[in-house]
Amino acid sequence: MHSPARRVAGMGSTIFAEMSALAVRTGAINLGQGFPDTDGPALILDSAVQAIRGGANQYAPGIGIPALRQAIARHQQRHYGIELDPDTQVTVTTGCTEAIAGALLGLVDPGDEVIVLEPSYDSYNAMIAFAGGVRRPVTLRAPDFRLDPAELAAAVSPRTRLLLLNSPHNPTGRVLDAGELGAVAEVAIEHDLLVVTDEVYEHLTFDGRAHVPISTLPGMAERTLTLSSAGKSYSVTGWKVGWATGPPELVAALTAAKQWLSYTSGAPLQPAVAAALDEAPDFPATLAVELQARRDELVAGLRGAGLATYSAQGTYFVTSDVADLGWSSGREFCLALPERAGVVAVPLEVFYDDPDGPGAGRHLVRWAFCKRPEVIADATRRLMAADLSNA
Ligand SMILES: *Cc1c(COP(=O)(O)O)cnc(C)c1O
């Protein structure tokens, strides 16, 4: 038997893959993995087909085709007033996932500390580890999942290199407010830290809340690398077209690592995403309105089923606490759920350094509401009819 490298030993497969496989195996409704069950706008799909027919089938430039980089720069201008040079301040990646990898491999040296919000999206921890960095989590705690500025300040050490931010936040659905963003900026400026911010849910905010990119705060543009992707905004999560924007030297550092990962990908998808950004700029806002209604329906259903549920300010996700129903572990709850109710959710414990720490997530599970209304209705009916208690 050949054993894997220490780098990956014990990593297993992601919890999303594990729970999606459980859904397939049991025929349960998959509210685990966050992907929509409808396509993005026809305009963008047609445009990709045309690009394939039109011969855009060979390597795109490593930093992405000019039309897409220009469209990304226009997007940042249109929504946030951010001015970018599309040739030096924008790079196209294989989804936001590769942008995260490129940012961490390109900016973190072995031994550098990286502050992350937890629960944290699982690729962050894997890539910090690949880079040889040391993770310093700052926990967002139920019920409101606020970022505590004092805890953030206390996480900084002389070895801190960067702050990895994510807002709107997966999995808690939290959108950081002006006070929290200001606190992050203050800490970053005081200690001269870099900020890498994952904003894939930038357009998926609810109840009139606006997403504010941290790079727009005074003193932040020069130290912030902003990451996003077409996947969530345009309901094309399988396309894996993402991007990073920011000061030329940070974009160059990311690109230096990224060129040895995929080098480039998605040649025919790149013009289609450019068309989406330019010609369907309102699609994401319309999607957010639909998602908000589905969030409300799912939250009502979960509460109706006896689950203590925290609503979301953005993203695809809401969170429930299963402790009141007698479960000591969200994982056990999720493993039992297909049989009990024919539904799959994802336990949050894997997104914490110490899921049993104060206010942490051993009992929390995440539900995705980015599904068709009839699917949400079916899932909530099943949950309400099921016995979910572990008495
Ligand atoms: C979905 C997701 C990603 C991955 O984006 P891709 O474009 O699919 O690679 C990154 N970060 C967060 C927080 C996500 O939820």
The fold adopted by the segment(s) 6-40+283-385 is Aspartate Aminotransferase, domain 1 (3.90.1150)
* Rounded distance between C-alpha atoms, residue 181 and residue 308, angstroms: 28
> Which residue's C-alpha comes closest to atom 5 of ligand 1?
96
Span 348-353, average pLDDT = 91
Does the beta carbon of 118 lie inside 6 Å of ligand 1?
Answer: no
Reported as a pLDDT band with limits 50, 70 and 90, residue 53 is very high
Q: Domain map of the chain by residue range? A: 6-40+283-385, 42-280
- Stated as kind and residue range, the H or E segment containing 210 is none
CA–centroid distance, residue 171 to ligand 1 (Å): 11
Residue 244 and residue 63 in contact, taking contact as beta carbons nearer than 8 Å: no
- Percent over 90 (pLDDT), the chain: 90
Reported as a pLDDT band with limits 50, 70 and 90, residue 38 is very high
CA–centroid distance, residue 176 to ligand 1 (Å): 18
Does the beta carbon of 166 lie inside 6 Å of ligand 1?
Answer: yes
- The torsion region of residue 289 among left (phi > 0), alpha (psi -120 to 50) and beta comes to alpha
Does the beta carbon of 315 lie inside 6 Å of ligand 1?
Answer: no
> Which residue's C-alpha comes closest to atom 15 of ligand 1?
170
| Identity of the residue numbered 375 | V
What is the SS3 assignment for 49? helix
**Two domains, one topology: 6-40+283-385 and 42-280:** no
CA–centroid distance, residue 304 to ligand 1 (Å): 30
**CATH no., domain 42-280:** 3.40.640.10
Atom of ligand 1 nearest to the CA of 100: 10
pTM score of the predicted model: 0.97
Residue 231 and residue 96 in contact, taking contact as beta carbons nearer than 8 Å: yes
| Identity of the residue numbered 270 | Q
Q: What are phi and psi of 137, to 5 degrees?
A: -75, 145
Reported as a pLDDT band with limits 50, 70 and 90, residue 15 is confident
139-153 confidence digits (pLDDT tens)? 999 999 999 999 999
Sheet holding 346-347, edge to edge: 308-310, 317-321, 364-368, 346-347
pLDDT over threshold 90, residue 63: yes
pLDDT over threshold 90, residue 297: yes
Neighbours of 234 (CB within 10 A): 26
Does the beta carbon of 366 lie inside 6 Å of ligand 1?
Answer: no
Atom of ligand 1 nearest to the CA of 166: 13
Q: What is the pLDDT of residue 292?
A: 98
* Rounded distance between C-alpha atoms, residue 245 and residue 252, angstroms: 10
302-323 confidence digits (pLDDT tens)? 999 999 999 999 999 999 999 9
Atom of ligand 1 nearest to the CA of 229: 7
Atom of ligand 1 nearest to the CA of 98: 9
Residues in the chain: 391
CA–centroid distance, residue 299 to ligand 1 (Å): 23
